[in-house]
A and B are shown apart, each in its own frame.
Chain A
Amino acid sequence: MAKISSLEELRKIRNDAKESMKTRSGNAKVRVFASMGTVGIAGGAREALKAMIDELEKRNFHDVEIVEGGSMGLDNEEPIIRIERDGFETTYGKVTPDMARQIVAQHIINGQMISEWVIARNEK
């Protein structure tokens, strides 16, 4: 991405984003729930989320919405990322930036969960 140093330049990015939304029908296909509690922040939640965004953008996948997840009450498993896709809610624990990138490639984009990292899963 080119250097952006003004809101004017950011406006161009908006137009790109708008373009990519045209192919989206209604609600986003995938929802990602993020939670930034003290334990998660100290454990790298911010870095995991940044890696996720970076990977989504690299792979040009935009049919996703990142939303506030509330406290998940699983401090020992932080950082946690929860994915809602195909009627299932899948929770990943101790997510590193590398794991976050793989979750994007396999689960978010292709719908294949990575079982060994899943700490909870239930039907929505």
Chain B
Amino acid sequence: MKELSLNILDILENSIHAGASDITLSIEEDTSEKDRLFFSIQDNGKGMDPAFLKTVFDPFTTTSTTKKVGLGLPLLKAEAEMAGGGAKITSEKGEGTIVSFWFQYSHWDRPPIGDIAGTVLIMFMVHSAVEFSYFHRVNEYSFSVSTKQLKEVFDDVPLNHPTAVKGIQEYLTTSIQNLHGGKNGQD
């Protein structure tokens, strides 16, 4: 993938396909001494048993019936390791899964984060039946928003209404810009 926000979308879609009804995405950017960029995606989907979990970073692992090779997670792990970071998956059958990966923030080989607002927007727009929470911190500033909050705001207007989608997109874009400009997100 060209940008990390696309890897994240792919991981989120894995959670959906695993039947999750609750998914949390956290992004933590520490640009100072810690020099670290951290992502985690937590879901309450069907999980993986220990034997399968051991193989999930193997490039030939997939349970997809339409594809011969699952490349998402192994490739991402390799990219993270090349950029001073790593990847980890913890999962329990019937309980859920946590996928996390991290990078040295300032590393030359670290892919750009990319359009994270676009990725989060897809979750709210196409998967509004899933309870999705998004948390994003940049140094001491943070922002969070969830499907639950948005449903309260939009009330009887569905989140996939084009005007709602555009509004949510604008809200996400502005809030993420503010984070990088040293401002907290508002709810």
Contact (Cβ within 8 A) B163 A13: yes
Q: What is the CB-to-nearest-CB distance from A111 to chain B, in angstroms, rounded to a whole number?
A: 18
Q: B100 on the interface (CB 8 Å rule)?
A: no
**Count the B residues whose beta carbon is within 8 Å of the partner chain — how many?**
45
Q: Which of A2-30 contact B (CB under 8 A)?
A: 2-11, 13-14, 16-18, 20-21
Contact pattern, A 86-102, Cβ under 8 Å of B = 1, otherwise 0: 00000000000000000
A123 within 8 A of B: no
Contact residues on A (Cβ < 8 Å of other chain), bracket: 35 or more
Give the docked Cα–Cα distance between A17 and B156 (Å).
10
* Chain B hits for A57, CB < 8 A: 162-163, 165-166
Known contacts A14-B154, A14-B164, A75-B66; A38/B171 CB under 8 A:
no
Residues of A within 8 A of B164 (CB): 13-14, 17
Instruction: Considering the complex, give the chain B residue whose CB is closest to the CB of A37.
Output: B13
**B 1-32 to A, binary, CB cutoff 8 A, 1 in contact else 0:** 10000100110010000000000000000000
B186:A6 contact, CB within 8 angstroms: yes
Do B171 and A4 touch across chains, with their CB atoms under 8 A apart?
yes
> Which A residues fall within an 8 A CB radius of B?
1-11, 13-14, 16-18, 20-21, 34, 36-39, 41-42, 46-47, 49-50, 53-54, 56-57, 61-62, 64-68, 71, 73, 75
Q: Interface residues, chain B, CB within 8 Å of chain A?
A: 1, 6, 9-10, 13, 66-67, 70-72, 115, 118-119, 121-122, 125-127, 145, 149-150, 153-158, 160-171, 174-175, 178, 185-187
